[in-house]
Amino acid sequence: MTSSVPTTPESVRQQAAEVAARRRKRTRSTTTRWRRRTLLGLYLVFVILPIYWLLNLSFQTNSEILGSFSFWPQNFTIANYARIFTDSNWYMGYVNSLAYVLMNMLISISVALPAAYAFSRFRFIGDKHLFFWLLTNLMAPPAVFLLPYFQLYYSVGLFDTHIAVALAHCLFNIPLAIWILEGFMSSVPKEVDETAYIDGYSFPRFFVTIFLPMIRSGIGVTLFFLFMFSWVELLLSRTLTATNAQPIASIMTRTSTASGIDWGTLAAAGVLTIIPGVVVVYFVRNHIAKGFALGRT
């Protein structure tokens, strides 16, 4: 086949205009692509630089941190990490934090699952108002509940225990868990429930063997948010503990001594504090966006 060749001035001009338009489009797309890559690179540097700097400081001595400015350790040392893993005051902080975080996750998810199912499947008087009231708990700052919790736990002997912090965090985590799970449960058709009952399933058997596996991604996302809130929360956990159940975040605020702040150990503790969150995010990374998107409609 032979390609058609323009023979008139108008067709020549039209073809030239089309070629010029395609060239401009390619130029714009290339410019836009490089602009996006540049902005993405700057954003990544802005986000990753503090984390890298924290890691860099964790392998330096205090004299090097205070005496020079360097992008990598000049005298590499792991003494900061060795102190954390050999000093019970430090590593027990991580144990305490993980203990009450896991307890809170178990309590919150156990309460939120049936509550979210009720909100997603049944309509009753004041259901929307009750659901909104649960969400208002998330709007209150934790400092509002410090004095009531402190007096209550001190009176009943729960002060400075892991369960005290776990129960205190339930005030914020249970409404959050109900809100997220209700969105996932509402996306499951009610016909699934009816079919299971017709087939002779009891509610506990249906709920555990059929319904929960269908929303397992929602449960994973919910556990992620529960973990993150309890892991980073400081005000309640610090006020409701003294020595036996003191979390790592509270211990990190006590690195100041007569000779100054132990910056190296503090940086190493910060790196170790980030690791659990990174591990959790890795396992639920494909479901986090869905957790943000779904809610009560």
pLDDT at 173: 93
Angle at CA of residue 281, ends 185 and 163, nearest 5°: 75
Give residue 227's pLDDT.
92
At which of 18, 39, 58 does a domain end?
A: 58
Provide the pLDDT for residue 35: 81
Interhelix angle 162-186/127-136, nearest 10 degrees: 140
For residues 114 and 156, membership in a common domain is answered with: yes
Any idea what DSSP says for residue 72? S
193-225 in b/e form (b: 16+ CB < 10 A) is: beebeeeebeeeebbeebbeeebeebbbbbbbb
In this structure, the answer to whether residues 53 and 134 fall within a common structural domain is no
Domain range for residue 13?
9-58
Over the stretch 44-75, which tens digit does the pLDDT of each residue have?
Answer: 888 888 889 899 988 988 888 888 777 888 88
Residue 27 lies in a domain: yes
Query: Is 47 in the same domain as 131?
Result: no
Q: What is the pLDDT of residue 187?
A: 85
150 and 30 in one domain?
Answer: no
User: Are 20 and 145 part of one and the same domain?
Assistant: no
Kindly state whether residue 182 falls inside one of the protein's structural domains.
Answer: yes
Same domain assignment for residues 157 and 201: yes
Residue 106 and residue 41 share a domain: no
Q: Does any domain span residue 219?
A: yes
Structure token pair of residue 78: 């792991």
Q: Does one domain contain both 124 and 257?
A: yes
Asked if 101 and 286 count as a contact pair (C-beta separation under 8 A), the reply is no
- The CATH number of the domain holding residue 142 is 1.10.3720.10
Indicate if the pLDDT at residue 295 is higher than 50: no
Give the up-direction half-sphere exposure of residue 128: CA atoms within 13 A in the CB hemisphere. Answer: 2
* Domain identity same for 45 and 98: no
The pLDDT of residue 113 = 94
Q: Say whether both 25 and 159 belong to one domain.
A: no
In this model, does residue 26 exceed pLDDT 80?
no
Burial class (CB in 10 A: 0-12, 13-18, 19+), 116: buried
Q: Which residues contact 149 (CB under 8 A, 6 or more apart)?
A: 164, 168, 236, 239, 240
On whether both 21 and 161 belong to a single domain, the answer is: no
**Phi and psi of 70, rounded to 5°?**
-140, 150
**Total domain count, the chain:** 2
Is 1 part of any domain?
A: no
119 and 236 in a single domain? The answer is yes
**Structure pTM?**
0.78
User: What letter does residue 207 receive in the DSSP assignment?
Assistant: I
Residue 226 contacts residue 109 (beta carbons within 8 Å): yes
pLDDT in tens, 204-219: 899 999 999 888 888 8
Contact (CB, 8 A) for 247 and 100: yes
pLDDT at 27: 66
Average confidence score pLDDT of the chain: 83
